[in-house]
Chain A
Amino acid sequence: AQKVTQAQTEISVVEKEDVTLDCVYETRDTTYYLFWYKQPPSGELVFLIRRNSFDEQNEISGRYSWNFQKSTSSFNFTITASQVVDSAVYFCALSETLTDSWGKLQFGAGTQVVVTP
């Protein structure tokens, strides 16, 4: 069963608009980690952010911010004032602990973000 769901297949925006990417996850673990990765057209996955299940404080890092809500099992990601260089596929990923202590990542299907000038 898919443990990470990214319902949005593609989002198209005009430069400077904000983009919010949805991620819903499923786990029975009480301790787990959530990640966002970016995959630009070059293909290499780039780590963006990590959040553990005990820390629901939402943060902002530059133009990136995230909204983690355990009650709804969601870990949404926002790019503020998008730029053309933000065009990429964005993946949400889950790492469980009780069921898997080795840290393997379980990815969603990804959301393609297209930013046009």
Chain B
Amino acid sequence: DTGVSQNPRHKITKRGQNVTFRCDPISEHNRLYWYRQTLGQGPEFLTYFQNEAQLEKSRLLSDRFSAERPKGSFSTLEIQRTEQGDSAMYLCASSPSGRNHEQYFGPGTRLTVT
């Protein structure tokens, strides 16, 4: 299977702890996106990478959030000092370069902060 994969699928953590999620995009895709989805809402954009360069960050991405894509392949999203409001589904998507190709999404990581 060469789709987008995300790990872990579920994460339960206590408030104040740090968590890290991983996304492996489709191998030939240069673009990688992170989105957050809360219950009953559509996904909201968080950040975007073109190869290893992080080119845009949403205002939703507070200083507690950091994302990397060190070699232009997989990406990690870290949340420091988690808060209950961080509870959500974190989605990763990838696409080829070029204008507005469709994005292919992974299964997501569901974060629950207790």
Contact check: which of B42, B107, B110 meets A108 at CB < 8 Å? B42
Number of interface residues of B (CB under 8 A): 28
Question: In this complex, which of A4, A33, A45, A106 has the most chain B Cβ atoms within 10 angstroms of its Cβ?
Answer: A45
Q: How many A-B residue pairs have CB under 8 A?
A: 65
Which residues of chain A from 20 to 60 have any CB-CB distance to chain B below 8 Å in the complex?
33, 35, 37, 42-47, 50, 52
* B62 is an interface residue with CB less than 8 A from chain A: no
Task: Give A50's nearest chain B residue, CB to CB.
Answer: B102
Interfacial chain A residues near B31, Cβ < 8 Å: 102-103
> Is B45 within 8 A of A47, CB to CB?
no
**Stretch of B12-20, B48-56, B65-73, B76-84 on the interface side:** B48-56
Q: B18-59, CB under 8 A of A: which get 1 and which 0?
A: 000000000000010101000011111100101000011000
Question: In this complex, which of A44, A52, A97, A103 has the most chain B Cβ atoms within 10 angstroms of its Cβ?
Answer: A103
> Is A107 within 8 A of B42, CB to CB?
yes
Taking the closest CB of chain A, its distance from the CB of B65, in whole angstroms, is 16
Which residues of chain A from 80 to 117 have any CB-CB distance to chain B below 8 Å in the complex?
91, 93, 95, 97, 100, 102-110
Taking the closest CB of chain A, its distance from the CB of B92, in whole angstroms, is 11
Interfacial chain A residues near B114, Cβ < 8 Å: none
Instruction: Give bound CA distance, A28 to B62, whole Å.
Output: 28
> Is A103 within 8 A of B108, CB to CB?
no
> Is A45 within 8 A of B102, CB to CB?
no
Please name the 3 residue pairs, one residue from A and one from B, whose CB atoms are nearest each other, closest first: A107-B42, A45-B105, A33-B100
Give residues in A with beta carbon < 8 Å to B.
4, 33, 35, 37, 42-47, 50, 52, 91, 93, 95, 97, 100, 102-110
Give residues in B with beta carbon < 8 Å to A.
31, 33, 35, 40-45, 48, 50, 55-56, 89, 91, 93, 95, 99-108, 110
Q: Could you give 19 example pairs across A and B, Cβ below 8 Å? A: A37-B105, A42-B107, A43-B89, A43-B108, A43-B110, A44-B105, A44-B108, A45-B43, A45-B93, A91-B43, A97-B100, A100-B56, A102-B48, A103-B99, A104-B45, A105-B103, A107-B44, A110-B40, A110-B41
